[in-house]
Amino acid sequence: MKHTRLNSRTSRTPILLGTMLTLFYSCSEQELSQDVAGKPSVQHEIKVTNTPDGAIDGRTPGAGGPIMMQAFYWDVPAGGTWWNTVNGKLSAWDDAGFSSIWLPPVSKAQNGPFSMGYDPFDYYDFGEYNQMGSIETRFGSRAELLSLINTAHNENIEVIADIVLNHNSGGDLEANPYTGTDTWTDYNPLSGKFFRSATDFHPNDQVANDEGVFGGFPDLSHAKPYVQDWLWNRSDAVGKYYKNTMGFDGWRFDYVKGFGPWVVQSWVNAIGGFAVGEYWDGNAGTLKWWVDATGRTASAFDFAAYYRMDEAFDGNNLNKLNDDMLWKRDPYKAVTFVANHDTDVIWKKMLAYAYILTHEGYPCVFYRDYEEWLDKNKLNNLMWIRRNLAVGSTSILYVDNDEYIAQRNGTPGLVVYINNSNNWQERWVQTKWANTQIKDYTGGSNWYPWTQGDRWVKIQCPPNSYTVWSANGY
């Protein structure tokens, strides 16, 4: 019997597979201009950013840069309806400010109509061949996918494909001369493209293994010239077909721990497009190593920021936001996120979104957070703030267990105040603006204070919330 894949991302193997008390507080501008002495603000410059190298611009990213939507979650409805569901939301997403969407793996996988695509079988079957138990994929047909991509482009949204290169699934049994056993490595896709056999997996006559095996799936051998040809070198290679025929603009590479960074580098050098890798590691230095090892052809998801945000917001210690993160080391190569289809551990999500949407990095918003679980109006407000105000390098103006205040130093720039306590907070900080009226662009505070000649000003924040301040008039 062929192995099947259960619908669980964290266990995918090829075997029979959150009444807030709100206190109203206001203060006159005269009161705001008092009390500077004895209330210094601790400032810490993180870094001055440089011109981005190879960064995605998005088609209409705004001054603050692009925003990505992860346009799926684990186990979206089956039945071939997902491409049409996403297609119907693209106009609203463009209006909200999304620059790109990341789709799940689009090709036919072993689990056919039920698969989320991470068990790839035929890279060229987008829902048109009757194999693996269905014609359409879980998400729909090739025609529906092409319609989605065309709509996205008409709405000025770029489309990022989820590329699974580490492993395959769904092959037939064959005698494997490199293992002395029968293995599921005989691939005969109905698309007629990229047939595979035992020699295209590990071990083979050239190499015994690469950097990692995932869950027992047949491990694709990228060292083999035949595999390289079909993935990125040929005129009809997977990557070139996805870009030139299907219309994809960029790539999210799944499980890049499983193969060398040179694979991503080779793909991007041959095909182009934005690229981001899922290197699941909370160490910012390791993430930075991987980005550099790809020849800086790819960004990485900032798992270091993800885990520090969880410790900061859910662990009630905002000092953790002082810790190392990829966006602090390499902001134009960091894709920041609060949740995704694989992991969702942060409970105080709006504080986390206030963080990533006001800070450096390329923020990604999770579909269920935006469409189902959180306040869409608040997220839309944060996205407007990002695209219009979030410019320049970042300085931390103040931080303790409960309060975090940071400034984006460009023009127009902003000051974000995150309050993780149960009480209203206020604090004097020294900003980039002198003799300027500022306001909170979230509407959480009704203060319109003036900064002093030395740029000090008092700002406030509601309990368990955030405010974002900038010069009045934008």
Q: Provide the pLDDT for residue 446.
A: 97
Name the band, by pLDDT with cuts 50, 70 and 90, for residue 474: confident
H, E, C per residue of 31-56: HHCCCCCCCCCCCEEEECCCCCCCCC
Angle between helices 284-293 and 261-271 in degrees, nearest 10: 50
Give the domain extent around 95. Answer: 59-301
What's the pLDDT tens digit per position in 211-264? 999 999 999 999 999 999 999 999 999 999 999 999 999 999 999 999 999 999
Does a cis peptide bond (omega within 30 degrees of 0) precede residue 66?
A: no
Residue 468 lies in a domain: no
What's the pLDDT tens digit per position in 141-182? 999 999 999 999 999 999 999 999 999 999 999 999 999 999
Q: Provide the pLDDT for residue 13.
A: 32
pTM of the model: 0.89
Cα within 13 Å of Cα(385), Cβ side: 31
Residue 278 lies in a domain: yes
Question: Taking phi first (over 0 means left), then psi (-120 to 50 degrees means alpha), and beta for anything else, what does residue 38 get?
Answer: left
What is the DSSP annotation of 328-354? HH-GGGEEEES--SS----S-HHHHHH
Name the band, by pLDDT with cuts 50, 70 and 90, for residue 61: confident
* The token pair that represents 369 in the structure block: 């957070």
Residue 403 lies in a domain: no
Averaged confidence pLDDT in the chain: 90
Q: Is the pLDDT of residue 289 over 80?
A: yes
Residue 288 lies in a domain: yes
Q: What are the helix (H) ranges across 188-260?
A: 225-228, 238-240
How far apart are the C-alpha atoms of 99 and 155, rounded to whole Å?
Answer: 9
Residue 29 lies in a domain: no
Residue 249 lies in a domain: yes
Residue 396 lies in a domain: no
Q: Provide the pLDDT for residue 60.
A: 60
Nearest to 308 by CA among 290, 336, 282: 282
Residue 246 lies in a domain: yes
Q: Is the pLDDT of residue 28 over 50?
A: no
Contact 169/110 with Cβ under 8 angstroms? yes
What's the pLDDT tens digit per position in 73-91? 999 999 999 999 999 999 9
CATH at 286: 3.20.20.80
Q: Which has more confidence, 44 or 445?
A: 445
Q: Provide the pLDDT for residue 374.
A: 98
Number of domains observed in the structure of the chain = 1
Q: Provide the pLDDT for residue 12.
A: 30
Contact 463/424 with Cβ under 8 angstroms? yes
Q: Which has more confidence, 380 or 13?
A: 380
